[in-house]
Amino acid sequence: MTSRHLSRPSVAIVGAGVAGLVCAQRLAEAGARVLVLDRDRHIGGRLATRRAGALQFDHGAQYFTAREPAFAAQAALWTRKGVAAEWHARMAILEQGRMIPVPGSIRRWVGVPGMGAIARVLADDARQAGAEVHAGVEVAAALREHDRWKLTSAEGLSLGTYDFLVAALPAPQAAALLAQHAPDIAERCTVDMLPCWAAMVAFETPLHVSFDGAFVRGAPLSWVARDTSKPGRPAREAETWVMHAAPEWSAAHLDAPHDAVAASLLAAFCNAADTDVPPPSYLGAHRWRLALPDEPLPDRYLFSSETRAAACGDWCGGPRVEGAWVSGSLLGEHMAALL
């Protein structure tokens, strides 16, 4: 964290997910001094890949689509760089033991060799533009002093003062960070975020099911995916699957033990797919407490010229990777025009 070029406007961005990283890139390209902080050890938020020995699982965001021209161009660029590839998955709907094929009209992309690769390239692009990106730093307080934002860490250490503050966080966390000194923004962060349990399962032999990804109805699950069907994955002897619980089930079992959750979701998969599976060689679970916005705001971002505070994320405009990218990109461009 440097203090060079103090004459340039400074921006602190709390949250190094998709929205925060692309916002940082836009602002740094415009000449601002940008610092991105995230309390997690790894950047990217739910754009994540979990590794367990030789195994890997996309346990957060499963894939991304590209509906808006700007993001479609970004997806094409990632594909040319080799950090993304189109996933030609056999898609289905599972409902009470019935499998209904889904036509392949929607194009889906994944990160290569895992979804976490997209987070890494976003961070690299932000750094190359001049932004600083730090993981493992928790911002405990954001105070307004003399029209500037002063940040303090969870250990009580000063993290510097900045002209602008961006909360690139889930809506409840953004509201908490901005409540005291930017109530005009905090009061608009009214989106409830739903939890999601993810089970990660590996089998020594492939499962005999005729789909690679499936939306599940009427079950504890909402989604299942054969991770090893995704392009660019390292060759593995084992077949890996990710199973996402439905929001209602996740909320009802939010504090359940991880091993019990993983076992329950595997049993739900067998019921939904009407199939038996061999004993897994790996079975684990991860809890995303703030995974999905219940009803996203129509606004693509929130910004206050009075308090010089802003918020962005996939809860602004749409609960997808694309929604997060568009939110952060548009906020960065808006602030860059002001700077």
> CA–CA separation, 96 vs 49, rounded Å?
30
pLDDT band at 175 (very low <50, low <70, confident <90, very high): very high
CB 13 within 8 A of CB 337: no
**CATH code linked to domain 63-114+192-293:** 3.90.660.10
Least confident of 105-109, 127-131, 331-335: 105-109
Q: What was the pLDDT predicted at 3?
A: 42
**CATH code linked to domain 10-48+118-190+297-338:** 3.50.50.60
Domain ranges of the chain: 10-48+118-190+297-338, 63-114+192-293
Which residues neighbour 221 within 8 Å (Cβ) at sequence distance 6 or greater? 94, 243, 244, 245, 246, 249, 265, 268, 269, 272
pLDDT band at 224 (very low <50, low <70, confident <90, very high): very high
Question: Average pLDDT of 46-56?
Answer: 94
Over the stretch 61-71, which tens digit does the pLDDT of each residue have?
A: 999 999 999 99
Over the stretch 229-262, which tens digit does the pLDDT of each residue have?
A: 999 998 777 899 999 999 999 999 999 999 999 9
Q: What was the pLDDT predicted at 152?
A: 97
Assigned token pair, 112: 């290569």
Q: What sign for the dihedral angle of Cα 40, 115, 314, 12?
A: positive
Residue 145 has pLDDT above 60, yes or no: yes
pTM for the predicted model, two decimal places: 0.95
Residue 326 has pLDDT above 90, yes or no: yes
Q: 63-114+192-293: same fold as 10-48+118-190+297-338?
A: no
Least confident of 103-107, 133-137, 288-292, 330-334: 103-107
State the average pLDDT for the chain.
95
Residue 209 has pLDDT above 90, yes or no: yes
